[in-house]
Every structure is written in structure tokens, then in C-alpha cells.
Amino acid sequence: MPTCQMCGTEIPSGERMSDFLKLDEIRKANGDIKAFPLGSNLKGANSSKNGWGQVTIAVDNETVHRLITDDVVGILYVIGKEDWKKQGGE
């Protein structure tokens, strides 16, 4: 049975570890995760008629460099405020 590389937890055969479980394992190992709150870092947003748009988010220079050099996995998760508050978020 495959195991998580970060913590050694067994993963049932044929199943992939979800992104959220991966994030939690990296967090538990004090891994390399950065977060940039959108409230203060959202610098611009545009929507279009085709159902897609784009946003500009301010990040630190180290993160810009790591994005350019393909040294990170970047994923934007957007969570509804009500769901966040239910989990104790502000």
C-alpha cells in the first residue's frame, strides 16, 4: 500500500491523496506553504463575457521568483465566507 511521503500514513490502493490532505501533511511537517490573504493583496480584477476573468494578487518577491523559475505548485482556493466562518474563521 502506498504511503504519504511526508508522514508515512498509508493511502488505500488506487486512491489519490486530495490536495487538502497534501496541504495538511505539508503543514504538519512545517513545510513550505505561503498564503496571501485576498482582502489586502487583491490589486485588480476583470471579468469577461466568456465566463472567465483574471485577477492580480500581490505576493512577495521571493514568490514571484519561485513562480518564474517553476519552483512551486500554485493553487488558488476560494472559500465562501459562510463556510469559513463555520470553521471559526473571521
* Local structure of residue 83 (DSSP, 8 states): H
Identify whether residues 25 and 67 lie together within a single domain. Answer: no
Identify whether residues 29 and 46 lie together within a single domain. Answer: no
pTM for the whole structure: 0.66
Locate the DSSP E strands across 1-90: 42-47, 53-57
Identify whether residues 29 and 15 lie together within a single domain. Answer: yes
Q: Give the domain extent around 27.
A: 1-33
Identify whether residues 42 and 29 lie together within a single domain. Answer: no
The answer, yes or no, to whether residue 4 has pLDDT greater than 70, is no
Cell of 11: 493511502
pLDDT in tens, 18-70: 888 888 888 899 889 998 999 899 999 999 988 999 999 999 999 999 999 99
Q: How many domains does the chain have?
A: 2
